[in-house]
Structure 1
């Protein structure tokens, strides 16, 4: 199979390689072997609030944080205009902050979420889905509704699961104990 692949490579033309990081030592070998004109890289951690993009076609470059209007939806960072005297963010007539144009100096801000909107919590190194736990409880005949959320426990890392229940009228509370 490998020999067939090597033979097939002779007939293929690559003009761009895009992926999740390539060591500089391997970069040059790829360019030479496959005749690739341009290599692009990206890095984005799963739960991070930033991403890096390397489209300079230079082996070993760390890349940059992309701040393009067309990518606003994917990158929660913005460079915003600031009043040089007061340090306050400048706003347009609708009250929205004004984004910097390329080359402008401004304040780098991030859309930071404090928690994950309650759909999951982390306990003992595991992510727990609240909807999955609710899905197990809600079919029970004694339970009218169940809401699961994570709560902090003093001295413990993460959050423990807590359940708020609405019981069917006439249900004996001992059923839950």
Structure 2
């Protein structure tokens, strides 16, 4: 009986997690490319080789930087909301999330080889990739997903005609 009650909840949690992962990945590649272009600026171009050359644990510490940088921005957004400027506060959070994801994507791209030298990190990363792929495979099998993809194709065809 309990299993019957928990099945819809498990389905909902899986869908929400899959959508969160899709959202992150939808932005991950384009934001990483944008940061790579930004990284071509003279000062930032010199940082790339330094970041790539970090030892594994220093690279791991650097990976925490985007999370730490966003804390003051979230406090600013909270202050804006408390001042009655809710939309501005929300905009600050959204922009910070995009910037933080872009920075994290680029940093991870630069330091992934160093991180993979940590056996425990490589094990966790491979496990994460396998779990994520399994979740995405499950999502792609769902009728809701197939219907959404069909609707997207139809809308694209309609848009292309106009």
Q: Which has the higher strand share?
A: 1
Which structure: larger Rg? 1
TM, length-normalised to structure 2? 0.20
TM-score, normalization by structure 1:
0.19
Greater share of helix: 2
**Higher relative contact order at CA 8 Å, sep ≥6: structure 1 or structure 2?**
2
